[in-house]
Structure 1
């Protein structure tokens, strides 16, 4: 009995030592995978057709958070990517949309535009970019700082904002795809003076043309795509030059009428092309091979383009995710071989989700609407004319925010807060407006839950408007009245996204507890034993960590 007890003690001690060693060994590479416009239910809707080595590999061998949500408004690409990597919301990080009205410059601006820098890779303007409008650090910044600027951080995406913002201020590189007549991966001289030779070689390899040389046909028999509505329906947008939005899509013929190389962004091959480039980056930059931890932030953008054009219930979106599943399986296998199965930690999530096409919802008797900004502005101007004898008090209306002309208001000896409150009180009567609240209210009142809490989390005192609005559920701009869909709201169809962790330091399992997108960055920071991003407001997801 004593011998048996002694053996049990030895086994326990050995196990503890082994586990301790595993827990303290940092990954050689962290890979952040963001899938643009991926709803959580794409994991379940198409599950029967996914292979075992793509999404299912992460679900079976990683930790899936089934009730993960965005906790702010607006749910747009730039805001999503920034919030994932900063661990906070627009209130702190300052990226309040993709484009927004700058009340200081008196013009609409784009989140990563920066004329202080030039394009590296071609003679176009697509590289005049930087992350300077992002006011806080990212987990990628903190990793670089913690390692005395050792280790590499690289951001990759077809969209510039999806490559730049996740990579942070201190990135070694961020690369994005310049479409149109260019068809090249480019960057900004914010990062480097010239493209590395491997990027130049990649741009010459002809893969972009290869992917555009054949029609987009379904991966499997289209008759088996029973998870989506019929192919020929009135709820989708066509490619320019196409009579109906149906398979097969003749990409070689449509290319010239759809901005040449830019059509690659809007088909599943755009995701494959992105994965090809990411693999080239891993090999040529020796990511995961040094003594310091590297970080690859990769975003798959084509899912968003397809979703906008064809909608949530389309054959096209189903095919795009089945193709992406194969791309992911191939990419994970590549990571195993190139970096080592135990040497990397990976997370997969989305920058936002999407609403069902309102036109389709209406056809099945579910309330849905389209919103005209022009008609709404006329309505608001009539309010100010009625109460303040002027219809020029509003400077801009965009992103469901109203910006007042403070100089005009002051010249009429009016009080801006009084004007804003009157507008908020009146516009609630406008069709399809569900909530209206002033900036003053958001500054002086704390909303702890619900849609106004999300609105408050997305409000930035320095940059946001004077009156903020929440439309009814399933309400989109009239831009989509003829088909297609979008996102941006605080409703669950836009906020509920996949959040899966996998690899070094991660348990196997799942949870139905509610978590927020801002929890990713502090969780990774804890795993890596580094300081949190400097504006972080998220929490560590303890149950996923070994």
Structure 2
């Protein structure tokens, strides 16, 4: 499964070797913060595979391990989740309520707004857009570091543009994401030599076909076909693909290997962690999410992906070790995920099913329009999450349509609950442990009055909102439930004494925890999270 990084480590990543010696316990603040998000790396996957890890994940398990971290909000998607990691704020404050939302008042024909786009660019659509940070309403840790000490450098690299933008923020020195065969940045910004070098290597591998790879012994029991209909199956994919296939390249270990290679190259070329002020690099490892969507979370594909990522992370940390930089790592995920229902049903979960074709905003809105004698598309959205109502309706019509919409969704046998915007807004933000939150409190943490819908739909547990798995994705995330909310949070620094804390914490705790490590002051109310003490003993890494 070593598909890419060896060649890159011999070129873009090489650094002089340093003598290895025992690490003393750290006393001074770290010079480089490394924040890694493994997209769709649920707490369930971490628990399932942690005994098999021998590389980077194994190293992190020698640090501070929080196996029950929470993306505590209801909108467990990529963009909202990434917006919490370095801001310390929940989506209600970041404004990133979903990957996409509906703005029915926008002048453009496409009423869907992508979380990391500038919809005011002429000709832009939610699928063909100009990447922008304009929708993130709060500063990231990197921005706070720059305000505190302008000499700090902020770098963000990810497989997805939204991951890079939401973790990097508004003031970055370098920000790169992968698209159409190469890593790209904002228009008009120069390309450093190391990026050009990595792009040349990655581009060649992307353009070439990839042969099937051997299934690791640890994955052999998972190497079985699961039928999904129309003569198709998943579960025996060994990452073979034809050349220039973006969909399958993203859903392969090659993708994360390239992103880590680029991150390591930028650390070297920019001499991150070697200046007078602390620096930060955020890394979005996106392949696990694409593997989960394309093949599910419990097959040989996911097994091979995680074992490969473990080795790639080990190589990445080894490069940082050889640089001599004093760095601290925080690793988490933007959300969890669940397996495809067909395999769930084979593996003792008979209640796992897909949504029925009638469960969606357009179908239900059409029925309401016929009932009330109204015209137009009354409801917009999907089959769960935020649902928006036609703004051209009168106040009386709007009230009636919302009531009918809530009634129709709530009556569907696959729906757990429906909450109106008024109900959600009236609910205080919870201060209790996240696993104890009610569904309404989870919805409140995702609610922003500028962008959220007229009501929110929560599906029942183990309902997958993909009607037909033969046309693309077979599994997904985004629910109110803990398999999507719960993620690992791992902190590591050379010389620290490790410990494990099984009780719940939140991803919004990461930014204040790292701020505490470097001594960056935060005022009360700056963030939603709290500083986690990473010192095993009576001393504390958090401010008094």
- Equivalent residue for 2:59? 57
Residue correspondence of structure 1 range 19-38 to structure 2 within 5 A: 22-23=26-27, 25-38=28-41
Query: How far 1:29 moved relative to its partner?
Result: 0.4
- Equivalent residue for 2:219? 225
| Per-residue CA distance 1:410-442 (angstroms, 9 max, x = gap) | 4xxx16345424432442111211101110111
| Per-residue CA distance 1:335-382 (angstroms, 9 max, x = gap) | 111143xx1111010111101212222343431232256553333443
Any conservation in 2 of the 1:237–1:245 contact (CA below 8 Å)? Answer: no
Are residues 1:111 and 2:128 paired? no
Are residues 1:43 and 2:46 paired? yes
Query: How far 1:244 moved relative to its partner?
Result: 6.8
Question: How far apart, CA to CA, are the structure 1 residues paired with 2:314 and 2:280?
Answer: 20
Greater Cα offset, 451-460 or 397-406 = 397-406
- Equivalent residue for 1:250? 240
Any conservation in 1 of the 2:429–2:445 contact (CA below 8 Å)? Answer: no
- Equivalent residue for 2:319? 334
Structure 1 residues 513 and 530: alpha-carbon distance in aligned structure 2, compared to 1, 3 A threshold: same
Question: How far apart, CA to CA, are the structure 1 residues paired with 2:422 and 2:41?
Answer: 34
How many residues were matched structurally? 495
- Equivalent residue for 2:142? 140
Query: How far 1:469 moved relative to its partner?
Result: 0.8
Question: How far apart, CA to CA, are the structure 2 residues paired with 1:290 and 1:132?
Answer: 30
Residue correspondence of structure 1 range 350-499 to structure 2 within 5 A: 350-363=333-346, 364-372=348-356, 375-376=359-360, 377-383=362-368, 385-386=370-371, 388-390=372-374, 392=376, 394-398=378-382, 399-410=384-395, 414=396, 416-446=398-428, 448=430, 449-482=437-470, 484-499=474-489
* Bigger-Rg structure (1/2): 1
Q: Secondary structure at the match of 2:214?
A: coil
Are residues 1:508 and 2:501 paired? no
Question: How far apart, CA to CA, are the structure 2 residues paired with 1:323 and 1:146?
Answer: 38
Structure 1 residues 236 and 80: alpha-carbon distance in aligned structure 2, compared to 1, 3 A threshold: farther
Structure 1 residues 262 and 286: alpha-carbon distance in aligned structure 2, compared to 1, 3 A threshold: farther
- The normalised TM-score by structure 1 is 0.83
Q: Secondary structure at the match of 2:528?
A: coil
Structure 1 residues 306 and 211: alpha-carbon distance in aligned structure 2, compared to 1, 3 A threshold: farther
Structure 1 residues 54 and 435: alpha-carbon distance in aligned structure 2, compared to 1, 3 A threshold: same
Structure 1 residues 102 and 237: alpha-carbon distance in aligned structure 2, compared to 1, 3 A threshold: farther
Question: How far apart, CA to CA, are the structure 1 residues paired with 2:121 and 2:272?
Answer: 27
Any conservation in 2 of the 1:117–1:130 contact (CA below 8 Å)? Answer: no
Any conservation in 2 of the 1:219–1:319 contact (CA below 8 Å)? Answer: yes
Are residues 1:529 and 2:519 paired? yes
Residue correspondence of structure 1 range 199-218 to structure 2 within 5 A: 199-205=195-201, 208-209=204-205, 212-218=208-214
Residue correspondence of structure 1 range 73-222 to structure 2 within 5 A: 73-105=74-106, 107-114=111-118, 128-147=130-149, 149-179=150-180, 183-189=181-187, 193-205=189-201, 208-209=204-205, 212-218=208-214, 220-221=216-217
Question: How far apart, CA to CA, are the structure 1 residues paired with 2:184 and 2:245?
Answer: 17
Structure 1 residues 403 and 172: alpha-carbon distance in aligned structure 2, compared to 1, 3 A threshold: same
Structure 1 residues 187 and 210: alpha-carbon distance in aligned structure 2, compared to 1, 3 A threshold: closer
- Equivalent residue for 1:344? 327
| Per-residue CA distance 1:484-515 (angstroms, 9 max, x = gap) | 21000121111111100111695410101211
Question: How far apart, CA to CA, are the structure 2 residues paired with 1:350 and 1:511?
Answer: 17
Query: How far 1:236 moved relative to its partner?
Result: 9.5
Any conservation in 1 of the 2:227–2:234 contact (CA below 8 Å)? Answer: no
Q: Secondary structure at the match of 1:522?
A: helix
Query: How far 1:161 moved relative to its partner?
Result: 0.9
Quote the RMSD (CA, aligned, Å). Answer: 2.9
Query: How far 1:47 moved relative to its partner?
Result: 3.3
Any conservation in 1 of the 2:153–2:172 contact (CA below 8 Å)? Answer: yes
Any conservation in 2 of the 1:67–1:513 contact (CA below 8 Å)? Answer: yes
Greater Cα offset, 104-113 or 25-34 = 104-113
Question: How far apart, CA to CA, are the structure 2 residues paired with 1:480 and 1:493?
Answer: 22
| Structure with more helix by fraction | 1
Q: Secondary structure at the match of 1:41?
A: helix
Structure 1 residues 492 and 212: alpha-carbon distance in aligned structure 2, compared to 1, 3 A threshold: farther
- The normalised TM-score by structure 2 is 0.84
Q: Secondary structure at the match of 2:343?
A: helix
Query: How far 1:402 moved relative to its partner?
Result: 1.8
Structure 1 residues 339 and 109: alpha-carbon distance in aligned structure 2, compared to 1, 3 A threshold: farther
Structure 1 residues 480 and 339: alpha-carbon distance in aligned structure 2, compared to 1, 3 A threshold: farther
Query: How far 1:260 moved relative to its partner?
Result: 3.3
Query: How far 1:168 moved relative to its partner?
Result: 0.9
Query: How far 1:90 moved relative to its partner?
Result: 1.5
Q: Secondary structure at the match of 2:490?
A: strand
Greater Cα offset, 472-481 or 35-44 = 472-481
- Equivalent residue for 1:4? none
Any conservation in 2 of the 1:356–1:474 contact (CA below 8 Å)? Answer: no
Query: How far 1:268 moved relative to its partner?
Result: 0.6
Return 5+ residue gaps in structure 1 as ranges.
1-17, 119-124
- Equivalent residue for 1:234? 227
